[in-house]
Amino acid sequence: MWLVVVNSKAGRGAAAALAAQVVGFLKSNEISYRMISPNSAAETKSLVRDSLQSGETTRLLSVGGDGLFHLLLQFAIEFEVPLAVAPGGTGNDFYRTLGWHGHDLTNYLEQVNSVKPSWVDVGVVDGEYFGAVLSSGFDSVVNERANTMKWPKGPAKYNAAIVLELPKFRPIEFKIFADEKVLQVEAMLIAIGNGSSYGGGMQVCPSADLHDGLFDIMILHPVSKLEFIKVFPTVYKGTHIDHPQVQVIRAQQIRIESSAVAYADGERIGQLPVQVESLPQTLLTWPA
């Protein structure tokens, strides 16, 4: 049985509309399912765990944003059940990472229904799994600010927080242990990519591969505010990695020490230091 978990508030109504499309597909294909739309993360955890422990659920389908995906990822790995994700949020970065952005949802559901899932890598940070990107630095400062703002809504909130935080931002000191390498750096941003995309399509780690057992670590060394504004748009195409102040290294195990805060899949992880590890072939899902 499919357990379809819906965050009806995600994507300013997009998830609710997608849920109706998902139900139509399941009914037309006579697929057994149960749909839940909990009111809180705590309720989601309780209902999902109960369903998985009962043995009823054979696969999970997330209909929401990256936050719901991140929550369900923990259960999918713990119970070793496949996890599918419908793009109902504002970012949908794991859906992008899987290669499905721009595809019709029905085509994706047909793939999920007819093709066996395959194993992909995930990251784990201090015991919490993540699918796309863990980051610290300027974007975390922006996230912290955006989370306190009641207006504007949606992606515009993040952009407004950038405008408010950039003028006073200063590079942060980090110590990075990446396998055998040790780096002491001042950086604007550090992104550890299991997948390529975060922030709703920013290709921050464009060469990250879900099947190689390694992270791509993107380090943006200090640049002027004007240069940052010039470089920032290039992250949507991944061409920022050609900038002389951008460094990319690869590693399987990483420790980052700093006074900064980390986020993963858009969710707050907390204060550094953190220990991060790539776990090869740990999640069952459907790459394009």
Residue 101's CATH number: 3.40.50.10330
**121 in any annotated domain:** no
241 and 143 within one domain: yes
pLDDT in tens, the chain (288 residues): 999 999 877 756 778 888 889 999 999 999 999 999 998 999 999 999 999 999 989 999 999 888 899 999 999 999 999 999 998 887 889 999 999 988 888 999 999 999 999 999 999 999 999 999 999 999 899 888 887 887 887 667 778 888 899 999 999 999 999 999 999 999 999 999 999 998 888 999 999 999 999 999 999 999 999 999 999 899 999 999 999 999 999 999 999 999 999 999 989 999 999 999 999 999 999 998
> Of the residues 90, 115, 140, which one is the last residue of a structural domain?
115
**57 in any annotated domain:** yes
Residue numbers of the domain that contains 145:
130-280
Spatial distance between the Cα atoms of 283 and 83, rounded to a whole number of angstroms: 8
Are 212 and 252 in contact by the 8 Å Cβ rule? The answer is: no
> Of the residues 89, 115, 141, which one is the last residue of a structural domain?
115
Q: What is the radius of gyration, based on Cα positions, of the chain? A: 19
Per-residue confidence (pLDDT) for residue 155, from 0 to 100: 67
95 and 42 within one domain: yes
Q: Is 153 exposed, middle or buried (0-12, 13-18, 19+ CB in 10 A)?
A: exposed
Sequence-distant (6+) residues with CB within 8 A of 158 are: 142, 143, 146, 199
187 and 108 within one domain: no
Whole-number Cα distances in Å, 123 to 215, 231, 251, 274? 8, 27, 12, 12
109 and 18 within one domain: yes
Place of tokens 């110590």: 175
217 and 104 within one domain: no
Are 109 and 59 in contact by the 8 Å Cβ rule? The answer is: no
Q: Residue 134 corresponds to which amino acid?
A: L
**286 in any annotated domain:** no
| SS3 (DSSP) at 100 | coil
87 and 57 within one domain: yes
**123 in any annotated domain:** no
Per-residue confidence (pLDDT) for residue 153, from 0 to 100: 74
Per-residue confidence (pLDDT) for residue 200, from 0 to 100: 81
160 and 55 within one domain: no
Q: Residue 71 corresponds to which amino acid?
A: L
Closest CA to 176 of 127, 134, 239, 223: 134
Per-residue confidence (pLDDT) for residue 25, from 0 to 100: 94
229 and 184 within one domain: yes
246 and 138 within one domain: yes
Burial 49-70, CB ≥16 within 10 A → b, else e: eebbeeeebebbbbbbbbbbbb
161 and 97 within one domain: no
Per-residue confidence (pLDDT) for residue 11, from 0 to 100: 59
191 and 49 within one domain: no
Question: Which two tokens mark 240?
Answer: 């920022």
The CA-CA-CA angle for residues 224, 225, 229, to 5°, reads 115
107 and 140 within one domain: no
Residue 253's CATH number: 2.60.200.40
Number of domains in the chain: 2
